[in-house]
Structure formats: structure tokens, C-alpha cells
């Protein structure tokens, strides 16, 4: 009986972690895919790669918008 009390919050934490990881996966994948390009552009134009990636994620839904898929427009 004493094992149930600490076990329930632990199971909830594990479930929350799994859901959070799945929710963030598209963003992590987008950054991994376009990081080198954004870094190269940073060296050429001075715009931080983090800003370029954040803008791309925001405007293209992490590369999943129709325009990003159809026209490669991020």
C-alpha cells in the first residue's frame, strides 16, 4: 500500500516526459536538418543562426506547412 503513493506521481512524470518528447520532435528534427545551412548563412550575412531557425520554425510549422512542403519555402 505504501508503494502506490510514490508510484503514481512517478508514472505521471514518465508519461508527461514521453508526451513532451513526442511534441518537440518536429522542432528538434527541423533544427538538426537546417542547422548547417543556417550557420553558413550566419557567416555570410551576420544574422544569427538561432534567429533564422526560429523564424523558419514559426513561419513554416517546423517545415510542415503546405508552402514549405510544396515550394520548399520556409
pLDDT tens, residue by residue, 1-26: 455 667 777 777 777 777 766 788 99
Q: What is the pLDDT of residue 20?
A: 65
Asked whether the CA dihedral 30, 34, 35, 39 is positive or negative, the reply is negative
Q: What is the pLDDT of residue 13?
A: 74
Q: What is the pLDDT of residue 33?
A: 95
Degrees to nearest 5, angle at CA 58 with 54 and 62 = 90
DSSP secondary structure letters along 37-73 = HHHHHHHHH---HHHHHHHHHHHHTTTTSHHHHHH--
**Does the model's pTM come out above 0.75?**
no
Amino acid at each position: 500500500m505504501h508503494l502506490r503513493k510514490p508510484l503514481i506521481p512517478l508514472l505521471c512524470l514518465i508519461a508527461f516526459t514521453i508526451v513532451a518528447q513526442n511534441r518537440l520532435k518536429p522542432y528538434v528534427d527541423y533544427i538538426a536538418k537546417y542547422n548547417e545551412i543556417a550557420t553558413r548563412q550566419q557567416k555570410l550575412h551576420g544574422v544569427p543562426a538561432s534567429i533564422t531557425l526560429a523564424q523558419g520554425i514559426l513561419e513554416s510549422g517546423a517545415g510542415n506547412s503546405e508552402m514549405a512542403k510544396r515550394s520548399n519555402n520556409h
